[in-house]
Amino acid sequence: MNKDAKIYVAGHRGMVGSAIVRTLEENGFTNIIKRTSEELNLIRQEEVESFFKKQKPDYVFLAAAKVGGIHANNTYPAEFLYNNLMIESNVIHSAYKYNVKKLLFLGSSCIYPKMAPQPIKEEYLLTGSLEPTNEAYAIAKISGIELCRFYRKQYGCDFISAMPTNLYGINDNFDLETSHVLPALIRKFHEAKINNQKEVVIWGTGKPRREFLYVDDLADACLHIMKDYSDEMHVNIGTGEDIEIGELAEMIKNIVGFKGDIVNDLTKPDGTPRKLLDVSLLQSTGWVFNTKLNAGIEKVYQWYLEQKNN
């Protein structure tokens, strides 16, 4: 990748897209194309084709998606399936049509079967039933992987896919209705601390185990595989380490400085019991994560406080 190559980052205002832009800029790339959803609606095929025809990017990072936690996925499954199918279909097809040199599609670890053996290898895809609470999103992301694979097979496109584990970082979503567990806990503990509450309620038993990757580490991995990886097999991106949700809550409680109790709401679902990615394929290409969970959460909490103050 030449430093002046034309690079389109789809979803540049989201947590993942903004981290990819930061990483590209830090690595000296100077020709980054960005469009807001108001400027370019990726759900509309005509708009996407017109954009690619005019801009003709050399490389595409497809980080745009409709995302959310268990509640949002469960409540709006049709939106999650339709919007994500349209975004990826339009971008991937236009990338083929207008001769993009390489495209990286970003999925999610929820693509794997609910009861997949742990840690989860790439080849476990489509070997069992999905977790019902985010099935629509998972089906959309699986379709994106398969689109990249079949455009490679039929047309010889250098389109690759990466499956990040649970992400957190700067520009995360802290809305309690639609956020993922880690930013939701940061907000809950912070507000409980400010309001002198005696307890914070967390969903489920706290026993499910989850893996968390700092988003700037993800962006670094994305640039690495964009430069050094080309294959129809998608690549897991993670740490290879996981933690119980209850332990995570204790960690965030301590970082925020909340002094009250943690209470489990056992009427709420746990979701998948464990979701740890096998990252040996990624590690074999020479990449390992950099940011430890405790240090990453401290960075995000400081950023969250700055946003509150602003």
Is 210 annotated in a binding site? The answer is: yes
Cα–Cα dist 302/222, whole Å:
25
Is 109 annotated in a binding site? The answer is: yes
- Annotated catalytic residue: which of 112, 137, 214, 304? 137
Would the pLDDT of 200 be above 90?
A: yes
Indicate the pTM of the whole model. Answer: 0.93
pLDDT digits (tens, 9 = 90+) for 268-307: 988 778 889 999 999 999 999 999 999 999 999 999 999 9
Is 188 annotated in a binding site? The answer is: yes
pLDDT of residue 180: 82
pLDDT of residue 273: 83
pLDDT digits (tens, 9 = 90+) for 213-261: 999 999 999 999 999 999 999 999 999 999 999 999 999 999 999 999 9
pLDDT of residue 178: 73
pLDDT of residue 260: 97
Would the pLDDT of 67 be above 90?
A: no
Q: Taking residues 79-89, what's their average pLDDT?
A: 97
| pLDDT level of residue 68 (50, 70, 90 thresholds) | confident
Which ranges of 108-261 would DSSP assign to H, the alpha helix?
Answer: 135-155, 181-194, 215-228, 245-256
pLDDT digits (tens, 9 = 90+) for 86-122: 999 999 999 999 999 999 999 998 899 988 999 999 9
pLDDT of residue 134: 86
Three-class secondary structure of residue 244 per DSSP: strand
Region of poorest pLDDT, from 30-44, 55-69, 189-203, 284-298: 55-69
Q: Based on C-alpha coordinates, what's the Rg of the chain?
A: 19
- Angle (CA) 222-120-162 rounded to 5° is 20
Is 141 annotated in a binding site? The answer is: yes
* Average of per-residue pLDDT values in the chain: 95
137 is catalytic: yes
pLDDT digits (tens, 9 = 90+) for 161-175: 999 999 999 999 898
Going by their DSSP bridges, the two strands 7-10 and 59-62 should be labelled as: parallel
Q: Which residues pair with 9 in a beta bridge?
A: 61
Extended beta strands in the chain, E state? 7-10, 32-33, 59-62, 102-106, 159-164, 166-168, 199-203, 209-210, 212-214, 235-237, 243-244, 261-265, 274-275
pLDDT of residue 275: 87
Is 106 annotated in a binding site? The answer is: yes
Cα–Cα dist 52/96, whole Å:
10
**Domains of the chain in sequence order:** 7-172+211-241+275-291 (3.40.50.720)
| pLDDT level of residue 148 (50, 70, 90 thresholds) | very high
Is 12 annotated in a binding site? The answer is: yes
Cα–Cα dist 261/248, whole Å:
14
Would the pLDDT of 158 be above 90?
A: yes
